[in-house]
Structures are given as structure tokens and as C-alpha cells.
Amino acid sequence: MKLVRNSLVGLAVLAVAVVVVAFMLPRVVTVERGTVIAAPPEKVFVHVNSLRRFNEWSPWYERDPAMEQSFEGPEEGVGAKMSWKSDNPDVGSGRQEIVDSVPNERVRVALDFGDMGNGTAGYTLTPEGDGTKIVWDFRTDLGNNPVARYFGLMFDKWIGADYEKGLARLKVLVESQP
């Protein structure tokens, strides 16, 4: 009987410790990747300021070119919207909208992944020598969900590789244009 009681007390202490540690983990997760593209900011900007051009370099489009997509709003800039739906779990479904755009400097995008949550992404362009440094970032607030906060530890691994692949494709695309 003492063994059962001690085991239950031990499990309760462990459960409390897991929850306490979760609340010590970051609530906001940020993932960033960057590269330098041998082209001026205006040549890079046209590709990140248009969601209709996103598939030209998107790492997710390559995974599922048959995904359903729809576009709303202007061709580029603030108010441009894109929705996608894929049966591929690595692509999923969601919606993105450009919410801020400063020519040749930055683009901010609001992301809605439905039940998976929301976030923001952005592209920051900075002249660097004869080229442009582009930083692609993702941010999300995991709230007070302890399970989500543990998953937050994996975001850099999950998203970072895709961002690196997308930036490499963007680099090739922009640098191959006259």
C-alpha cells in the first residue's frame, strides 16, 4: 500500500513539475533565417511583396504543387491575400495576408493556420555591398498552453530548414534574372 501511495505522490509531483517547467518556456517563438542575394533590394522586393509570386520559390509549393490555392485583393502589397489547402501534412491549410509593406525594405504577413494557430512572418531587406541581405522571420504566441510551449522548442528545427530552402530558391531565382 505504501508503494502505491508513494508512486502516486511521485507521479503527482512529476506532473506538477512538467507543468511548471512549461510555463518557464518561452511564450513567443521566433524563427529567423537569412541570406545575401547578389541583386539590389528592388529586384528581391518584387518577389516577396506578391503572394502570387510566392510559389516561384516557396519550399511548400514544391512539396505539393497540386495544393488548392486562391488569391484575393491586390496583386501585391498590403491587402494581398492567399489561401491554400493541401492534404499533405507538411503543407497543411491556411491563409496569409500582407499587412505591411515598405518598398525595398520590408514586408509583414499575417498567418492563419486554422486550428493550428496564428502567427506572423516577414521579410526584411538590407543593402549589403552590391547585394541584399534578406531575413525571413516567423513569430507566434503560444499563449498559456503548456503542451504548445513544449512544441515551441521544435519550431526552429521544423520551420528553419524550410526557410533555408525557400531562401536558397529565392536566391537562385533572383540571381538568374537579368
- The tens digit of pLDDT for each residue in 92-114 reads 999 999 999 999 999 999 999 98
Q: How deeply is 89 buried, as exposed, middle or buried, from its count of CB atoms within 10 A (0-12, 13-18, 19+)?
A: exposed
- pLDDT band of residue 10 (cuts 50, 70, 90) is confident
User: Which residue did the predictor score with more confidence, 33 or 142?
Assistant: 33
pLDDT digits (tens, 9 = 90+) for 119-135: 999 999 999 999 999 99
Q: How deeply is 24 buried, as exposed, middle or buried, from its count of CB atoms within 10 A (0-12, 13-18, 19+)?
A: exposed
DSSP string over 125-175 = EEEETTEEEEEEEEEEE-TT-HHHHHHHTTHHHHHHHHHHHHHHHHHHHHH
The residues facing 112 across adjacent strands are: 95, 118
User: Which residue did the predictor score with more confidence, 11 or 62?
Assistant: 62
Place of cell 512549461: 22
Whole-prediction pTM: 0.86
- Per-residue model confidence (pLDDT) at position 149: 82
Q: Indicate the class that CATH gives domain 27-175.
A: alpha beta
Q: Judge whether residue 69 has pLDDT over 70.
A: yes
* CA distance linking residue 33 with residue 43, whole number of Å: 19
